Chains A and B, each alone.
Chain A
């Protein structure tokens, strides 16, 4: 099955338009497969049945026709679960494999869930639409309220309801703050 993909123009958002600016990505758009469209707005990855999976934008956008992958720089986007926003994520580079329906976030990954209020950061992460799971790797930190967890790897559902943390040769650490009146002992 082929995912329906709506690529709706991840154009540069420059504060002041340059007089001799190079042509916008829209004008340079490569030959796209039938199920990929490029227009103004966000890049949208949809499921075969049409439901939204990921929607994002970046300063720049590259489309690889052969591999059917999109690369966005200084990018951010929203991951959807059952059609509802479940995770907001940003990274220096986001690569979307439209065939495999996998979104890769590289460098300075920051993500937060509007569902649980939990957030995580990592060196890199990937989100697999078919599994509805996010995998984080390298300097993983999970924060919720005043509590924080550190690990080397993270596996979680899209909304960060359930998070599994692992260390690579070092322990997973949780730092919890007990509010006044709730001291453990």
Chain B
């Protein structure tokens, strides 16, 4: 299989328009957070802090780090999270039950905004982003990476991003009625 490869230089900036994805299904989503250290919740301020081996799990992914901070709304739904120390994220985003994007990455720190689905990884970012439908893979070794999980925004800050994609991805055959 022919592959198209490019290596971006140090401090490269890559902003890719990949086509807007459909929003996530309008379903209840169950989240489980575990931490071996204390967990502090401030209901008044709408913040929580999980210490020591913090791990957030949903049906479609995990987010693990030495510690995590969360902000949540009045309904106790998570609005944003930030993670510090040995961050590891493994998430797949789905559109109509098809995997839109898989992210498997590690970093020193990370933040995530639920509203914009914006994940920012900082410091020693390593990992992979796979888009099965586009047969595209991003191999990351960067200082910083920002990815809109279900959208078209990606922003990388060097030193090296390798994008692998077949030269001519075959068009999917139209479905028969």
What residues of chain A have their CB less than 8 Å away from a CB belonging to chain B?
116-118, 142, 144-147, 149, 151, 160-167, 171-185
B42 at the interface (CB under 8 A from A): yes
The residue on B at minimum CB distance from A165 is: B39
Contacts A171-B36, A176-B31, A184-B29 given; indicate if A118 touches B60 (C-beta within 8 A).
no
Task: Name 9 interchain pairs, CB-CB below 8 A, sorted by A.
Answer: A163-B40, A165-B39, A171-B35, A171-B53, A177-B76, A178-B78, A182-B29, A184-B29, A185-B112
Contact flag A172-B34 (CB < 8 Å), given A178-B29, A185-B149: yes
On chain B, the residues within 8 Å of A146 by CB distance are 75-76
Q: How far is the CA of A173 from the CA of B42 in the complex (A)?
A: 16
Give 1 or 0 for each of B54-80: 1 = CB within 8 Å of chain A CB.
000010110000000000110111100
A-B interface pairs (CB < 8 A), number:
116
B26 part of interface (Cβ distance < 8 Å): yes
Cross-chain contact B77 with A177 (CB below 8 angstroms): yes
Shortest CB-to-CB span from A154 to chain B, Å, is 10
CB within 8 Å for A171 and B34 given contacts A165-B39, A176-B77: yes
Q: Are A185 and B31 CB-contacts (below 8 A) given A116-B44, A164-B40, A171-B36?
A: no
Which 3 pairs of residues, A with B, have the shortest CB-CB distance? A147-B76, A174-B33, A178-B29
Q: For the complex, what is the distance from the CA of A178 to the CA of B26, rounded to whole Å?
A: 10
Across the interface, B39 reaches (CB within 8 A) one of A144, A149, A175, A181, namely: A149
Residue of B whose beta carbon sits closest to that of A171: B34
* B119, closest chain A residue (CB): A185
Q: How far is the CA of A171 from the CA of B24 in the complex (A)?
A: 30
Q: In this complex, which of A116, A164, A175, A185 has the most chain B Cβ atoms within 10 angstroms of its Cβ?
A: A185
A184 neighbours in B (Cβ, 8 Å) = 29, 31, 58, 78, 112, 114
Q: Do the beta carbons of A161 and B77 come within 8 Å of each other?
A: no
Judged by a CB distance under 8 angstroms, whether B91 is at the interface is yes
- B117 interfacial by beta-carbon distance below 8 Å: yes
> Known contacts A116-B44, A162-B41; is A173 also within 8 Å of B76 by CB?
no
* A144 near B76: Cβ-Cβ < 8 Å: yes
Judging by beta carbons under 8 Å apart, are A116 and B35 in contact?
no
A161 to B40, CA, bound (A): 11
Contact (Cβ within 8 A) B41 A149: yes
Question: Which of A149, A151, A179, A182 has most B Cβ within 10 Å?
Answer: A182
